A = this chain, B = another copy of it.
């Protein structure tokens, strides 16, 4: 039985709050181990990375050079990938590239009414590291979603790290890296790979920013190197909220809820609907589709532990709930999604109408699938070109407008007790 709520029930607010504040992640306390690994790699470089790779990935190498993936290996991997999949990767790449090209911010230089020249200039981050998990969560689509925005931004050097436990590397991931134009690839992972990217080693030059998902060790390492390098957000388990009116195909909605649930036992799928009949149909459809899924066990655990169906009287009542949930993915499976979209305040990505299952956005829509989880859409956005550029402010006074603005700057400097600030202005005005 999945959690079922009705927004007219007397205890609804309490139950909804519990749903909002429910912890879906067990945080592993790996911080001490990670700290030691980071310090060791910082001190001993390549040698330390080689040792940890042997210990954790059971992969022996005589030198870091051996852990660098060669172009011959990449070509061999590409040949292993079926043509249809390769075409799909290329189509995904091209659509992601086209969409993200619209996100490149424009420089702004202008002169204000008193003649002061101001501006904002954007430049790409010079070198970026992309972490790609190994094993079953080694997704080629994530390679594209992280690398393409960096490429569009103009990042010159994109370094990918991907662990190959027991030497196994997903050929699709190498194919995606090639399609995306990744510059260097190393088969290393864990905190040691994050350290190598952040601090650099004899073989690997340091990067300025590290992005990409990873396990608890990777997340802890990213938190710790933040400051030395930039990082993207720390992603939590995935989630979808579907808002549906009565005119829906219950099987389609059930499939969408399960597409989210199959990610992870901690994933969350929520349906808010105005139709109690649809609610019942979807619940039944989920049950029957679950039995067909290769990842039934994962999806079932997610749906039973964290899934929910919420019945509301009107779509208007659905939107405040949605904005409080601040879902990573929001499907507006309603007759008039544009009307509801106007009321969306907090959501990572919105999928409009009946023909936009969330999985289209995961792969091929063109928008990014790296999106804010765990209610962080209240204050953050999905990955974009903006994460790979930075802005420099420009200010240019001449002697005339310095004379116009100077006295106010001097007054504020003196008021703050910062006389040298005031003096750096007054000395130029001879006052």
Interface residues of A (CB under 8 A from B): 84-85, 87-89, 91-92, 95, 98-99, 102-103, 108, 110, 112, 116-118, 120-121, 123, 125-126, 136, 139-141, 172, 208-209, 227, 229-230, 234, 251-252, 255-256, 258-259, 261-263, 289, 292-295, 299, 337, 341, 344-368, 371-372, 374, 376-382, 384, 386, 390-399, 402, 405-409, 411-413, 415-425, 427-428
Residues of B within 8 Å of A423, CB to CB, are 255, 258-259, 289, 292-293
Do B88 and A411 touch across chains, with their CB atoms under 8 A apart? Answer: yes
- Chain B residue numbers with a CB within 8 Å of A258 are 420, 423-424
Q: Which B residues are in CB contact (< 8 Å) with A382? A: 391, 393
Residues of B within 8 A of A362 (CB): 409, 413, 421
| A412 B92 Cβ-Cβ under 8 A | yes
Residues of B near A88 (CB, < 8 A) are 407-409, 411-412, 415
Which partner residue on chain B sits nearest A362 by CB separation? Answer: B421
C-alpha gap A371/B390 in the complex (Å): 11
Closest-CB distance, A152 to chain B (whole angstroms): 14
Closest 10 CB pairs of A and B: A230-B379, A352-B396, A88-B408, A349-B393, A381-B391, A367-B393, A255-B424, A262-B420, A357-B424, A359-B421
Contact of A353 (CB < 8 Å), options: B118, B126, B348, B396: B396
Task: Please give, as numbers and ranges, the residues of chain B lying within 8 Å of A99 by CB-CB distance.
Answer: 118
Contact B424 A259 (CB under 8 A): yes
**22 A–B pairs (Cβ distance < 8 Å), ordered by A:** A85-B411, A89-B412, A91-B408, A118-B365, A172-B415, A209-B379, A227-B234, A230-B376, A252-B424, A259-B420, A259-B423, A262-B419, A263-B418, A350-B392, A351-B395, A353-B397, A353-B398, A356-B402, A362-B413, A367-B393, A367-B394, A378-B390
Known: A227-B374, A289-B423. 5 other contacts (CB 8 A): A140-B415, A299-B420, A349-B393, A350-B393, A355-B399
- A77 CB → nearest B CB, Å: 13
Contact residues in B for A118 (Cβ distance below 8 Å): 99, 365-367
A103 to chain B, nearest CB (A): 7
Rounded to whole angstroms, the CA-CA distance of A88 and B341 in the bound complex is 42
Bound: A86/B417 CA distance, A: 16
